[in-house]
Chains A and B, each alone.
Chain A
C-alpha cells in the first residue's frame, strides 16, 4: 500500500485543474491517475475551437486548452500515472488501480477527488427498433475515429440528437467529405449550444429537424437507411409523417451520463437528476473527504466552468486534509418550477467562500421569464432572462453576506417565474 494525501481520479480538464489547485493551496502530495495514454480527457478529441473564452479570453481548440493545464501540471512536478485505470475506491479511501507496469496499485488517500468525466448514452437507452447492423455509432466514438484514429465512420449520415457532440460532428464529417443528411431532435428545442447550431448546421445547410426522431433502423449487416418520423406533443411518433432516409451511418448524440460506477463502489450518494454525486458548497460528496468536479458531477457544456469547479474541489480537499473543513448544519437549496437540479445542493455557511456559484439547468425552454432566488420566503433575486433552455447551463451567485444577515436561514429556493 502506498500513501498519498490526495488522489485525483481522471486526468481530464477537471482532474488537471483540481491538481493544480491542490498544489497552489499548499498540498504537494498529490497523484493523478488517468486510464488513457495521455492527459487532457475528452478535450483531446475536440479539435474544433471554442474552448477557454472565459478563462483565457481567447478561442482555443480542445487540445490547446488541455495543453496549457498539462504544461502547468508538469512544470509543478505533480505526479501522474497514465494507462492506469482505477477499478475500485473504498469508503475508507483506498484507491485500487491497475496498469501494465505497476500491476495492481493500492493507494491509501486522505482525500479523493472524483473527476472521471462522463460517457455517451448508447442506442439501447433509446430502444430504436430494427436490426443491429454495423454503422451505428455514438457521436463521440465517431469523433474519436475521425480526429484521432483517422477513419471515416461512413459516407451518408443521419444524426439523431442535437447534443453538442452531434452538432460538432455534423460539421466535422461534412468537412471530411461525408453527406450529413439531417440532424433529428425529438424535443422541440436543441440540446446543444446555440452557437453550435449556427456554426455547425446553419453554415453548412444541414437541416435540424426538431420534433423528429428515428423510429426504425434498416439494414442487416450495415445500415442502409432509417425511418424518420415527426412526434406529437407526447413525443410519440405520428405514423403519417414517416419518411425513409437512405444512409449508411447513424450517429447518436443523445446525451451524456456521468461516469459514477466508482463513486457507487465507495457508497457516495448519487443525485437521480444529474446522475452525479450529491455535493455541498465545498464539492464534498456524502462521504467526507471524497470530492467531485467536472462532468462526473453534472454534464457541462463549457470547459471553463469545469476548470473553475475543479479548482474549488482541489482547494477544499486541501482544507479537508488540514482538518479545516467544518461540519455542521447546512442550508438546503431547493430547485423548483423549471429548475431541474442545482450543484451544489446544500451550503454550510461556515465553509462558504465569499461567493458560492450555484449551477443548474432548466427542464424546459422559457422565454422572457425570470430566474428567482428565495431565502426562506423572501425573494432576493429576480432576474429577467430572454431565454432559458436545457441546452445551456445557468448559474447564479450567492454572496456569503446573505448568511451572516440571516442566521436562521433554512432554505434557498431557485425557480423560474413567469413574472
Chain B
C-alpha cells in the first residue's frame, strides 16, 4: 500500500512529489505518457507571472504570488534556467489607458511589488522595437521567464532521488474509494493508496468526478505559438503582453531563457482533450495580433509552431485541496495559467497539508540540490577547454545548432529518470531544439539512445511508442 499516489507527472504533480519526498512516505507518481512533462507543462509560454491579472482573493492570485516569490531561489537549487526579465502590458490606444490603471490596482491589491505605469515614450525607451500604436504600458519588474521542461524535470528528478517511484506509461482508468484507502486501476494493474492526489491536467475532472459529488468541468482551451530562431531572440528583452481579455492574457512576445523568441498564444475552447494540433487560422491570428505589439515579426525566422491546452475549470479558479466529501483525496485541478508559476506554491501548499494529515516524519538525508546536465553552449571558451580535458566526449558535437555534445546526451539518458525518446533528449539537452529542428542530429541521437539503452534503432521513438522514426532497417531486405 502506498501512502500517496499522485496522478500526473506534469509540473504540478512533480512539484507536489518533490515537496512530499522530504518525508518518510511511500509515494508513486503515475503518468500515461512515456516521459515526464509530456502534456501542458511542455507547451506553454514559460512566463513567471508577477500576479497582477489574477482576481483579488482567488486561489490563482494566492498561488501565483507565492510561486513568483519562490521561483528564483528554487531555480537556483534545481539548476533551472530562469531570468527575471520583467514584463509589460501594453495599451494600444488611448481608450485602453484606464484599463492599465485598473490592472495596476488589482496587482497592488494582490501584493505585486514595483508595478509602474509607463508613458508611451518611457515604454519605447525600454523596448525600442515596440509598435507605434503603443499608448502606454504597465511595467512589472518581478515578471520572469523559466524553462518549463527543466522546472518539471528537475522537480521530478529530486522526487525520484528522494525515493518517489515514477510509473510512466501507466494510464489510470478508474479510481475507487474504500474505507481507509483508494484503489487505483491502471492499464498496468491495480494499486492501493491511503492518499490520492489528482494532478491530471486536462483530465483532472474525470478523477474528481469519479469520487466527489462536487463536480468539476474542465474545458481544454488551446493556445498556439510560433517559436523563432535565436538570431531574432533579442527583438524584445521583456515579456510584452497586451491587455487581457476574458479568454486569457492575450498574445505575448517574449524571449525564452534559452534566447529564442516566442510569440503566442491563441485562446480557443475545444472539445478533444488530446488535440494539440496547430491550425492555419491560429498561427495567422498569433502573428497578426503580435504585430500590434512590436514593429515587425521576423516571419522568415520561425523554426517551429506548437500548441498547448489550458485546463480551464468552469468556475475560473484553481481547485486545490482536500475534497470536502472525500477525505484523503486531494485535487490540484483546473490548473490553467498561471499554473507553471504557481506549481512550486501548489507543491508547498498541498505538501504541507498532506504531510500533516499523515503525521509524516521528515527525512534526514533529503537531497535538495540538483545539478543540471551541463549546458555546454553557455560555457566560456576556457570552461569548454577544461571540461573537454576532463571528459573528451564534451568535444564531440552531436547537435550543431545548439552545440550539444555526446557527453550531455549520455548524461540525459543515464541521469535519474533519464530520457528514452528523442523528445526526452531534446527537453533535457536542447539537442534538436534549434534552427534545423533535429534534421541533422536525430540519426545520431537515435543511434546513441539505441546503444545506451541496448535497443534496436527502430525501437527509438520521438515521444511515444507509436511515433517510431524509422520504418525499415537496411535496404538489403528490399
Contact = CB atoms under 8 A, between A and B. Distances in A.
Interface of A: 35, 83, 85, 87-88, 96, 98-104, 106, 119-120, 122-125, 127, 129-135, 137-138, 140-141, 144-146, 149-155, 176-177, 215-216, 220-222, 237, 248-249, 261, 264
Main secondary structure of the interface of A (DSSP, over half): mixed
Contact of A137 (B384, B393, B439): B439
User: B384, B400, B467: which has the most chain A beta carbons within 10 Å?
Assistant: B467
A141 B395 contact: no
A261 B435 CA distance: 11
B226 A127 contact: yes
B457 to A, nearest CB: 7
A131 B277 contact: yes
A122 B443 CA distance: 16
A96 to B, nearest CB: 6
A104 B278 contact: no
Contact of B381 (A104, A119, A125, A145): A104
23 contacts: A35-B397, A35-B400, A85-B397, A85-B400, A87-B384, A98-B388, A100-B393, A101-B395, A104-B384, A104-B385, A122-B437, A124-B305, A125-B300, A125-B303, A134-B462, A134-B467, A134-B469, A149-B443, A215-B280, A221-B463, A237-B280, A248-B471, A249-B471
A127 B302 contact: yes
B467 A129 contact: no
Given A120-B436, A129-B279, A145-B443, A151 B302 contact: no
A382 B443 CA distance: 50
B470 A151 contact: yes
A324 to B, nearest CB: 33
B393 A176 contact: no
A151 B279 contact: no
A122 B468 contact: no
Nearest to A216: B280
B232 to A, nearest CB: 12
Contacts of B436: 119-120, 122, 138
A124 B475 contact: no
Given A124-B302, A131-B277, A154-B471, A98 B395 contact: yes
Interface in B197-223: none
B409 to A, nearest CB: 14
Nearest to B224: A129
B462 A150 contact: no
Given A127-B283, A140-B439, A151-B457, A222 B467 contact: yes
Contacts of B385: 103-104
Interface in B434-462: 435-437, 439-440, 442-443, 457, 461-462
A220 B400 contact: no
A122 B304 contact: yes
B302 A146 contact: no
A152 B468 CA distance: 12
A151 B436 CA distance: 20
Given A122-B304, A125-B300, A220 B389 contact: no
Contacts of B403: 85, 87
B396 A100 contact: yes
Given A119-B436, A137-B439, 13 more contacts: A87-B403, A100-B392, A127-B283, A129-B278, A134-B461, A141-B440, A150-B475, A151-B473, A155-B471, A176-B475, A221-B467, A222-B466, A248-B471
Contacts of A88: 381
Contact of B395 (A99, A140, A177, A221): A99
A216 B305 CA distance: 13
A129 B467 CA distance: 18
Contacts of B435: 119, 122
A83 B393 CA distance: 12
A129 B277 contact: yes
A123 B457 contact: no
Contacts of A141: 439-440, 442-443
B351 to A, nearest CB: 34
Contacts of A152: 470-472, 475
A113 B227 CA distance: 32
Contacts of A176: 475, 478
